Amino acid sequence: MSPIEKHRGGSETMSELQTHAAEIAAQFSDHLDVSEAEVEEKLDNLVTQYKVPIDEARRSVTNSYLNEAGLDREEISAGGTEEVLVNDIDEDEQWVDITAKVVDLWEPGSDAISQVGLLGDESGTIKFVSFSTSELPLLEEGSVYRLGNVVTDEYQGRYSVKLNRTTTITELEEDIEVGDNAIEVEGAMVDIQSGSGLIKRCPEEGCTRVLQNGRCSEHGNVDGEFDLRIKAVLDDGAEVHEVIFNRERTEELTGIELEEAKSMAMDALDTSVVADEMRGALLGRYYRITGPTLGRYVLADEFERLGAPTDHEDTLIKARSI
């Protein structure tokens, strides 16, 4: 490494250290008398002398102050918490603020938990837990709150938020229309999969499985009930999404209603004519679809057929400038 590079690298680390030091000092400002300079010195010692990565150094210094102040990690704010939408939470151990409505309250499974339930904002819903030790006021179902300083948690890919002793709770007068964790996908419809069109479902109570050749995988041969469905693949050239249209959405999308589909099948003595008709009408066209996700599927709530592009001028200008 040349001396110049070394120097540049060094100064970068210094300013980065200063930022970390300022953040740590701010976190403890209510609890301890710590100066930024002191924090920076500790960080610098670990990073420069002991070659500890900055993240680890930060963790170590933070822990030493936690011990000194007799605090738990949850009791200090991570500094500069951010207001987020619940459906945008995709990382655990983040300190965030949310504004949400209490959609549902469940029976706590243990005495350690004061409240557990579901919070919702326009983006969707998320589970929340409030612990007895935090001694927070109880939230009421149907009310909207601004919750400052909650911490995110993750379990098997699902996110939740934990309220804690530092959480601020402000009840708001407003109402929130709670969203359904919808996502928006766009692309060409490149396939309509088998099991689309006019299908038969198992009539057994609570089953609704789609029959294969008149057989339900659970209940054997049954007299099925007709339904309409489309399982489509949307592809934008970079990603594929599988989308399911239920009967209502299928009818809206294709203009073919269940009764009409049944008579089409009756005339042709074959249910597959319905799916074939739909393929001809839908494949190779572009759509924008919004809806909640279920496993790897997007359940179509709203859809829009996309026609001529509106952005080709922008693309051209951008491309010319490369």
Partner 1 sequence: MSAQDESVPTREVARRVFAREFNDASYTFKESDDDRAPLYLLLPTGERANRVFVVGTLTETEDVGEDSEYWRGRIVDPTGTFFVYAGQYQPEAASTLRELESPAYVSIVGKPRTYETDDGTVNVSLRPESITEVDDGTRDRWVTETAQRTLERIDHADDEANEYGRMAAEQYELDLESYKTMALSALESLDEEADADADTDTDTDTDASPPESM
By CB under 8 A, name the binding residues for partner 1: 188, 190-194, 233, 235-240, 276, 279-280, 283-286, 296, 306-309, 311-313, 315-317, 319-322
Is 1 or 308 the residue whose CB approaches partner 1 more closely?
308
Is 41 or 314 the residue whose CB approaches partner 1 more closely?
314
From the list 288, 86, 315, 59, the residue with the least C-alpha distance to 186 is 288
Q: What is the SS3 assignment for 119?
A: strand
Helix H or strand E encompassing 314: helix 312-321
The Cα–Cα gap between 283 and 112 comes to 54
Least gap, CB of 288 to partner 1 (angstroms): 11
Least gap, CB of 256 to partner 1 (angstroms): 16
Is 4 or 322 the residue whose CB approaches partner 1 more closely?
322
Q: Alpha helices, DSSP H only, in 227-311?
A: 247-254, 258-268, 272-282
Are 106 and 160 in contact by the 8 Å Cβ rule? The answer is no
Is 142 or 195 the residue whose CB approaches partner 1 more closely?
195
Which residue type is seen at 159? Y
Alpha-carbon radius of gyration of the chain: 28
Are 238 and 224 in contact by the 8 Å Cβ rule? The answer is no
Least gap, CB of 304 to partner 1 (angstroms): 13
Is 84 or 211 the residue whose CB approaches partner 1 more closely?
211
Least gap, CB of 90 to partner 1 (angstroms): 20
Encoded tokens for 72: 């738990």
Least gap, CB of 318 to partner 1 (angstroms): 8
